Chain A
Amino acid sequence: MKTLKIDELSKNFGSTEVLKKINLEIDEGNFLVLLGPSGCGKSTLLNIIAGLETINEGNVYIDDYNVSKVEPKDRNIAMVFQSYALYPSMNVRENMIFGLKQAKVSKEKIEEQLKKVSKFLQVDALLDRKPSQLSGGQRQRVAIGRALVREPRIFLFDEPLSNLDAKLRVEMRREIKKLHQQLKTTVVYVTHDQTEAMSLGTKIAIMNHGVIQQNNSPELIYNKPSNTFVADFIGSPSMNLIKGKLNQKSNKILFTADEANFAIPIISYDFIKASQLEDKEVFFGIRPEHIYFKKSNEDDFEVNLTADLSEYIGHEQIMTFNFANQELLAKFPSTFKIELNKETKLYFDLTQISLFDANSKERI
């Protein structure tokens, strides 16, 4: 049984297709993050799961039950919004029990739930305050509390941290993570922040233009991006994508960048489909953090490059190199000194590379 299943779901607003045949499944207790740039349809998808938005095609199942035409309140879900959406005229207590009162839950049960949840979230001292008298973090907690008291099957979070300042955001992120570890409920979480997605999700679905680009664990998303969009979207700075050609010579596969007079051997790379590699136009992907200034592996590829630019960001520095007239970014500890406009020896970790078809932009 899948806790949530989305089947061939399409949605359009007028003539704009927002979601195109989305398929998605979540097992009980998973934390699924919908990640993507703004306008990719992730919030619409969440609203559809909540029942706040109608469906044009396809179905949504919760616990194998088709809820496509079920009212939001009957879907056994709870949602936390970006603006918290606390009812301004009600105090914290009334805010938290509003849903239970609507559902005609008995007074004792409501009181019991309220006590439990407000204690758990440490908002029990704030129960008589109005939302306007709360700080951002407290409002966030009350909003989560309002979702918790209903004991839903699925929690929906719509960019809940993007209204908080940077420091509080990191704090609340940890709290949400703890919350999920303790309660083990199923969560669908929308964000455009990759750090949030990586740290919170047990599964991440990356969306762009209404299509899911990749749906995997954070590790796989990071290590084996399934297309150039994912490769580019995840990581900061994002993966270097160097345009070039593959050559196959007596069981050895070599990559030569455009305008380069040297070749990089492709070793220990898992091809999805290792056919017709000769003369294939590809993007060679390597993350800035997988370029070293010291040899660490026997198979590391050694190359001499000239640095054009250095960006100091405290604990590390981002260097821009000229790689056969293409930009190549590398990340080093800030203690390591590199002179600009001078050749430096660098080592590519060839176990960490990705290759993409230059035409289809898909991983090969």
Chain B
Amino acid sequence: MQDNLQTSSYKQLEQKSKYKNIFLRWFLYFVLILFASYFIFPLYVMVVTSLKTMEEIRQGTLLTWPSSLNFDSWLVAWGGRGYGAGDTFLRPYFWNSIKMVVPAVFFSTFIGAMTGYVLTKWRFKGDQWVFLFLLFGCFIPFQAILLPMARTLGALGISNSIIGLVLVHTVYGIPFTTLFFRNYYVSVPTELVKAARIDGAGFFKIFFKILLPISAPIIVVTVIWQFTQIWNDFLFGSTFSFGKAAPIQVALNNMVLSSTSVKEYNVDMASAIIAGIPTLIVYVLAGKYFIRGLTSGAVKG
């Protein structure tokens, strides 16, 4: 009798907790969907606006789906209208940005990896200080170094050039990349380096043969970080370059702001999306590794 009572009350409790769980689960989904739509909303407006004609936009229906898919504004944003002066379009600046971002990401990542390697595996007197000062680099407000940098670029004869921008981005990327690689290599057992030294490998061989092959996760993290930073940079681009040498973000700004005639919202939106696509692609391709790299701790054998 006692047992039966016991079981029935357990059953009740079980039922109760089941309902509670179902409710919580739906509530969770509701909140998640709410926030997701909040974040996706601006992108939605951008995409639909870029696909509308100007007449449609003037009707003031911001949220409606375009009546017909019209890619004209994308073509204009990318390749221009074909008449001479005043026709600004993104294509040349897009390539400018690529030419800037690829070497800058490569060099800053490589130098960061090297520095992180030295700071963890070839410790020297005062290495903590070197690391500390490098960390300060992460906190420098970039506005503060614009003037000295401009002088430096001038002295080197590479102001208003892609090479100049590559240099600036590489230099100011090093603190971040070093931080990433140092923290990653700290968790790699130093015994690996000792073993390699006894095996007769030198400084570079150990780096390239032993450490670099196990650095994939942190390389991905660094590349994504650096790519996003450099691609999206406007401050350095607008300060140290103008005209033909400008990167895409500067060109985008010029395009949208140089309103000689009517504001073409559809072209503006298309341009903004084009300028943002490469970072999106990098995230989609490597995002999986990004999370893994950020969370991965020790390298186990």
Contact = CB atoms under 8 A, between A and B. Distances in A.
B201 A102 contact: yes
A78 B301 CA distance: 20
A73 interface: yes
B194 A52 contact: yes
Interface string A147-176: 000000000001000000000000000000
A85 B201 contact: no
In this complex, which of A52, A81, A88 has the most chain B Cβ atoms within 10 angstroms of its Cβ? Answer: A88
A229 B41 CA distance: 74
A50 B198 contact: yes
28 contacts: A50-B194, A52-B194, A52-B197, A52-B198, A72-B197, A73-B198, A73-B200, A79-B194, A79-B195, A79-B198, A81-B194, A82-B191, A84-B301, A85-B189, A85-B191, A85-B194, A88-B192, A88-B213, A88-B214, A88-B299, A88-B300, A89-B213, A99-B198, A99-B200, A102-B200, A102-B201, A139-B301, A158-B191
B195 A102 contact: no
Interface string B202-231: 000100011001100000000000000000
Contacts of A158: 191
B75 to A, nearest CB: 47
Given A84-B301, A88-B299, A89-B213, A99 B199 contact: yes
A103 interface: yes
Nearest to A86: B301
In this complex, which of B189, B194, B205, B300 has the most chain A Cβ atoms within 10 angstroms of its Cβ? Answer: B194
B200 A85 contact: no
B121 to A, nearest CB: 12
B196 interface: yes
Contacts of A134: 301
B301 A72 contact: no
A170 B214 CA distance: 32
Interface residues of A, number: 28
A132 interface: yes
Nearest to B210: A87
A98 interface: yes
Given A85-B192, A86-B301, A139-B301, A102 B213 contact: no
Contacts of A288: none
A265 to B, nearest CB: 54
A73 B197 contact: yes
A77 interface: yes
Contact of B198 (A72, A84, A132): A72
A87 B189 contact: no
Interface string A257-293: 0000000000000000000000000000000000000
Interface string A34-51: 000000000000010011
A82 B210 CA distance: 18
Contacts of A145: none
Q: 7 nearest interchain CB pairs?
A: A89-B213, A102-B200, A73-B200, A99-B199, A85-B191, A85-B195, A81-B191
A83 interface: yes
A22 to B, nearest CB: 20
Given A85-B192, A132-B300, A78 B210 contact: no
A98 B192 CA distance: 13
Interface of B: 189, 191-192, 194-201, 205, 209-210, 213-214, 299-301
Contacts of A146: 195, 199
Contacts of B200: 73, 99, 102-103
A201 interface: no
A79 B300 CA distance: 20
Nearest to A52: B194
A89 B200 CA distance: 18
B196 A87 contact: yes
A84 B301 CA distance: 8
A105 to B, nearest CB: 11
A77 B198 contact: yes
A145 B300 CA distance: 20
A131 interface: yes
B192 A102 contact: no
B66 to A, nearest CB: 51
A131 B301 contact: yes
Contacts of B201: 98, 102
Contacts of B197: 52, 72-73
Contacts of A52: 194, 197-198
B210 A89 contact: yes
In this complex, which of A50, A102, A131, A134 has the most chain B Cβ atoms within 10 angstroms of its Cβ? Answer: A102
Given A88-B301, A139-B301, A83 B189 contact: yes
A51 B198 CA distance: 8
A83 to B, nearest CB: 5
A98 B189 contact: no
B17 to A, nearest CB: 40
Contacts of B300: 88, 132
Given A72-B197, A88-B301, 15 more contacts: A51-B198, A52-B198, A73-B198, A77-B198, A79-B195, A79-B198, A81-B194, A81-B195, A84-B301, A85-B195, A87-B209, A89-B213, A102-B200, A102-B201, A146-B195
Nearest to A50: B198
Contacts of A47: 194
Nearest to B213: A89
